[in-house]
Amino acid sequence: MSIFSDLIGYVRACRGLRNFFKESLSIEDAVEKVSKKRESRSEDFLGIVKRAVYENEDSPFLKLLKSANFEFSDVKSLVDSRGVEGALRELAEEGVYVGINEFKGKNVCVRNGRSFTFKESDFDNILFHSGLEITTGATRSSGTRTMVDFNSLTESAEDFAVMQYVHDLVDTPQIVWMPTGLGMICVLRYGKLGNTPVGWFSQARWFPKIGKGNLYSSIKNRVMIDSMTYEARRIGIPLPKMKWVDMNYVNEVTKKISAVVKENSRCCVTTFVSSALRACKSAVDSGTDIDGVVFLVTGEPLTPTKRKEIEGTGAEVIPWYAASEIGVISFGCRKPSNCDDTHLLSNRLAMIQYKREIKDFGISVNAFLLTSLSQFARKRLLNVEMGDYGVMEKLKCRCGYEKLGMADVVYNIRSFEKLTGEGMTLIGSDMVDVLEEDLPAMFGGSSTDYQLVEEEDEKGFTHMDILVTPSLGKLDEKKVIDAVYDGLRKRSKGGRDLSFEVWEDVGTIRVRREKPIVTKRGKLFSFQINKIRKKK
């Protein structure tokens, strides 16, 4: 994209921002809109299928539906008789679904004797108009560009308003602790609700380390963020300026939280799970009182250990689950039975599960298949896999979400497709290539001499340990770690990946001289996940 095109993008974004803030969104209006969408979800689903699939000859879902001999009338009959989820399960059983690597164009999609090749752009919503483009940390692609439609952002703000209503956080002062694009989106949401954050901190530098990123992309990203902040302030919305905080020294964030709590009795901090942990550890070490803070956390699993560590400081914690392709998927339950119970936002999406074999890990999981019900979703999804799995069931928790008809709860959410730490993510397949190709070529041995173990330590922090067979002899562990990051950067095609920067800063990847772990069935996989190391 040229500088001229970027300038046009800034102008459009600022114009869209002015329209976005023209009308504020009250909690009452948000609750009413979400309730109405819940009631009309069957009609919304059929309307999208009719317009975006059957009336769009380029739709990848039309190809899958035709291969399974489904006409629109057949889909409508299924919805009328079995509901949206019942219809989706029937369609999935007949081959109407898309796996994560099929969605990304890495694998050929074979269904009902026919083969299809898709790419991510095939799933773009033609009604989605980008008003804002900001780079975020990579999740499912390299140097991810986040495209934001202000209609979609308004709809997302409705969901955040309902979350605040359910958790009694209305008018609670907000602090956003999210990097660049993700942080900007959160700041704008709260601004739309008339609750502009009192502070915005970033886990990642706005500029990359020398020789380790695209400086132009970083500058462009920063110019966009500063332009949006300036424009919002010009029209009377006092958005905070983003400030980078070294993840090894988070006292500045902790002091800010403490000051806000002291003045207002409560404070809500939107951040990653590990960032919340670091703030809590900082508070304990420095004797800072943060009793009264509520951490709204995402980016990685909220495990029992992590929850215990956070709540041990007197803080509350609420998890939320999201994907860039569809936005927020679920918000934490007010009366959870499990440490990470989250209510599915069935006003905007539908979710079912199917049994999925994960060959890289030697496991079988109940994978999530997502379907978008909103006309403003970034991607059109119909039974599309996002690389995650977990438990899904209806719970009678009697919290505000159940009263709004959102009784479906998902928990124990994990990814079989990516690695997560400090709220940042890396694509698992890239790491496999590094382990099986790069490290043996540089340090000797074969692919069976290296293995990555995702672990949570006794304090709740997630680490990625590279197990290296001791028989390879003496190795410079720093060179091994550098080789891992270099290999990942090479596969990110030169894109700026915030994950690498944050992980390097806090030492997420470590080396252990141990033999790779073999399963009880004698198999050795490149990854071992969710193994917790106990205190000795």
> Looking at 201-210, 221-230, 324-333, which range is the least confident one?
201-210
Task: Report d(CA 267, CA 269) in Å as an integer.
Answer: 7
Cβ atoms of 410 and 344 within 8 Å: the answer is yes
Model confidence at 502, pLDDT cuts 50, 70, 90, reads: low
Residue-wise pLDDT tens digits, 242-289: 998 987 789 999 999 999 999 999 999 999 888 898 899 899 989 999
Task: Give domain status of residue 106, yes or no.
Answer: no
Does residue 270 sit in the same domain as residue 180?
yes
Q: Tokens 């540089």 label which residue?
A: 442
Residue 107 is given by DSSP the state S
Residue 97 is given by DSSP the state -
Does residue 464 sit in the same domain as residue 408?
no
Largest CA distance in the chain: 67
Task: Give domain status of residue 274, yes or no.
Answer: yes
Task: Give domain status of residue 19, yes or no.
Answer: no
Task: Report d(CA 111, CA 503) in Å as an integer.
Answer: 39
DSSP-assigned beta bridge partners for residue 357 = 364
Task: Report d(CA 461, CA 429) in Å as an integer.
Answer: 23
Cβ atoms of 135 and 216 within 8 Å: the answer is no
The residue ranges of DSSP E strands in 204-254, in sequence order, are 242-244
Does residue 193 sit in the same domain as residue 254?
yes
420, 160, 370, 397 alpha-carbon torsion, rounded to 10°: 90
Task: Give domain status of residue 134, yes or no.
Answer: no
Does residue 187 sit in the same domain as residue 233?
yes
Whole-model pTM: value is: 0.80
* pLDDT of 450 above 50: yes
- The pLDDT assigned to 299 comes to 83
Model confidence at 516, pLDDT cuts 50, 70, 90, reads: confident
Instruction: Give how many domains the chain has, as a whole number.
Output: 2
The residue type at 285: D
Q: Do strands 145-148 and 132-135 pair parallel, antiparallel, or not at all (unpaired)?
A: antiparallel
Closest CA to 466 of 423, 408, 422, 507: 507
Task: Report d(CA 384, CA 375) in Å as an integer.
Answer: 16
- The pLDDT assigned to 10 comes to 67
Range picked from 130-139, 326-335, 407-416 for highest mean pLDDT: 326-335
Q: Find the length of the chain.
A: 536
Q: What's the distance, Cα to Cα, between the start and end of the chain in Å?
A: 54
Residue 49 is given by DSSP the state I
Task: Report d(CA 379, CA 324) in Å as an integer.
Answer: 9
Radius of gyration of the chain (CA): 23
Question: Which residue would you say has higher pLDDT here, 306 or 427?
Answer: 306
Does residue 450 sit in the same domain as residue 401?
no
Domain closes at, from 364, 384, 414: 414
Q: Assign residue 151 the CATH number of its domain.
A: 3.40.50.1980
* Percent of the chain whose pLDDT exceeds 90: 51
Does residue 490 sit in the same domain as residue 401?
no
Task: Give domain status of residue 304, yes or no.
Answer: yes
- The pLDDT assigned to 414 comes to 83
Does residue 304 sit in the same domain as residue 322?
yes
Task: Report d(CA 211, CA 501) in Å as an integer.
Answer: 12
Using CA atoms, how far residue 133 sits from 4, 9, 181, 383, in Å, is 15, 8, 8, 27
* pLDDT of 184 above 80: yes
Does residue 206 sit in the same domain as residue 156?
yes
The pair of structure tokens assigned to 45 is: 């689903």
Q: Assign residue 492 the CATH number of its domain.
A: 3.30.300
